[in-house]
Amino acid sequence: MIEKAKNIIQNYNGKPLRIMEVCGTHTHEIFRLGIRSLLPRQVDLISGPGCPVCVTPVNYIDKAIYLAQKGCCICTFGDLVRVPGSESSLAQARAQGGDIKTVYSPEDAMLYATQHPEKKVVFLAVGFETTVPAVCIAVDSAKKNGIDNFSVLTAHKTMPAAYEALKGSADVFIYPGHVNAITGNAVCKELTKQGVSGVVAGFTAEELLMAFAVILTLYEKDTPFFKNCYTSVVKDEGNIAAQKLINKIMTPCDSTWRGLGVIKGSGLMLKSEYSNYDAMIKYDVPDIKGSPNPACKCADILMGKCKPPQCPLFGKVCTPLKPVGACMVSGEGACSAYYQYGENL
Ligand code: SF4
């Protein structure tokens, strides 16, 4: 199967196409597995906005720092700690005495709150549909158990509205398998009716090679297509239990994406009955505007308008050790993938 897929990819002789890997994990795995070197010259890969840390706007970091400065204990996944805010980062806030704790799940943060009732614990809830259910479980559990020193600062994003904003930026999308595992495929099928082609892909070498072979075979037929190439995990209807849980705790809201701006209905926030667990309300966080470094091209990279080596700071001023933008920090970021795997223009 792998050999057949490789054969299709290497012998593709059709028209040029731009494929966007929407998900940052796909970007890294395609690099790491050496799949880029198999692709013919006329197949161009561009990275999309599917890295949750990368699309989180700079003012979110500013708000987290504000909360730390107000005495909250910030619990977060590790990547966010080094993402630059407008003037500082959570790492710098920690160096100045801020209580910043790295956790592996929202539940860890909630348990930490139960063990430390004297602390005001705030979990930084970023991520797509994939990570939302775990946040919902933690909030629901905190409410049921009367843990009122736990709250979440939400910046959750949902993909459907983002696809609208991305229309025209690529010829074919590789849809994020983990997201489709929750949401199902209805949105992707609807996009096909509007002329947008794409496949859902898994993350192993075999799954990715299959996905590319399917893309290159179907693209030659000149008709918009959708194909689920990750059927072992992604079902058409998605994960119904997770969808019900999300609908119970969260409600759609407009959301600001780094690079894409405000996209109507592309975010999730806690429903009003859970407002006691919403850090923005609980601690009366002001509407901080935020100002990203103007030299950083993360916004263009996330829209597929340019590639990391085209940023003048790439690899010189901006490296994983001294990141200027989120795309160089995150383990799913396009800049960190290009830096780590050494591809220049
Ligand atoms: S290389 Fe650094 S500064 Fe340039 S776009 Fe990437 S993260 Fe931003």
| 335: containing domain | 298-341
- In a shared domain, residues 288 and 326: no
Pocket test for ligand 1, best of 327, 330, 339, 340 (most atoms within 8 A of CB): 327
295, 313, 333 — which closes off a domain? 295
Give the CA distances from residue 10 to residues 37, 41, 171, 173, in Å, rounded to whole numbers and listed in that order: 10, 10, 19, 20
Tokens standing for residue 222:
């000149």
For 265-274, what is each residue's pLDDT tens digit?
Answer: 999 999 999 9
Q: Torsions phi, psi of 267, nearest 5?
A: -125, 175
Query: How many domains does the chain contain in total?
Result: 2
Rounded distance from Cα 295 to ligand 1 centre (Å) = 8
For residue 121, what is the domain's CATH number?
3.40.50.11740
Report the residue among 54, 55, 298, 340 best suited for mutation to probe ligand 1: largest number of ligand atoms under 8 A from its CB: 298
- Among residues 20, 96, 57, 95, the alpha carbon closest in space to that of 299 is found at 57
**Ligand 1 pocket check for 298: Cβ under 6 Å:** yes
Question: Which tens digit of pLDDT belongs to each residue from 243-265?
Answer: 999 999 999 999 999 888 899 99
Q: Are residues 302 and 193 in the same domain?
A: no
Average pLDDT, the chain: 94
- 216 vs 260, higher pLDDT: 216
Q: Give the pLDDT mean for 19-30.
A: 93
Report yes or no: 135 and 246 within 8 Å, Cβ to Cβ. no
Looking at the fold, whether 136 and 230 belong to one and the same domain comes out as: yes
Domain boundary among 276, 295, 314: 295
Could you tell me if 217 and 275 lie in one domain?
yes
Chain segment 80-136, per-residue pLDDT in tens? 999 999 999 999 999 999 999 999 999 999 999 999 999 999 999 999 999 999 999
Residue linked to tokens 């990275």: 47
Structure pTM?
Answer: 0.92
d(CA 2, CA 93): 48
Instruction: Name the E strands within the chain.
Output: 17-23, 43-50, 73-76, 100-102, 121-127, 150-157, 172-176, 197-201, 226-228, 250-257, 261-270
Kindly state the percentage of the chain with pLDDT values over 90: 86
**Pocket lining: 318 vs ligand 1, CB cutoff 6 Å:** yes
Whether 308 is in the pocket of ligand 1, judged by its Cβ within 6 Å, is yes
Q: Are residues 33 and 173 in the same domain?
A: yes
Q: Is 325 in the pocket of ligand 1 (CB under 6 A)?
A: yes
Residue 14's CB: how many other CB atoms inside 10 A? Answer: 14
- Report how far ligand 1's centroid is from the alpha carbon of 307 (Å): 10
Residues in CB range of 224: below 8 A, 6 or more apart: 192, 193, 194, 195, 196, 197
189 & 325 share domain: no
- Are 307 and 231 found together in one domain? no
pLDDT at 345: 42
> Tell me, what's the pLDDT at 342?
76
162 and 290 share a domain? yes
Question: Which atom of ligand 1 is closest in space to residue 293's alpha carbon?
Answer: 3
Question: How far is it, in rounded angstroms, from Cα 176 to Cα 36?
Answer: 18
- Protein residue with least CA distance to atom 1, ligand 1: 314
Bridging pattern class, strands 250-257 and 261-270: antiparallel
Per-residue pLDDT, 167: 87
For residue 302 and ligand 1, the question of a CB distance below 6 A is answered with: no
Same structural domain, 136 and 254: yes
Q: Is the C-beta atom of 58 inside 6 A of ligand 1? A: no
- Residues contacting 176, CB < 8 A, separation 6+: 22, 23, 25, 26, 50, 128, 130, 159, 200
Q: Ligand 1, atom 3: nearest CA belongs to which residue?
A: 296
The amino acid at residue 219 is Y
Is the domain of 319 the same as that of 282? no
In terms of residues, how long is the chain?
345
Q: Is the distance from the beta carbon of residue 81 to the nearest atom of ligand 1 less than 6 Å? A: no
| Position in ligand 1 atom list of the atom nearest CA 325 | 7
Q: Looking at the structure, do residues 291 and 313 belong to the same domain, yes or no?
A: no
Query: In this predicted structure, what is the pLDDT of residue 343?
Result: 59
* DSSP states of 297-333: -HHHHHTTSS-GGGSTTBTTTB-SSS-SSHHHHSTT-
pLDDT at position 258 is: 87
Is there a single domain that holds both residue 88 and residue 167? yes
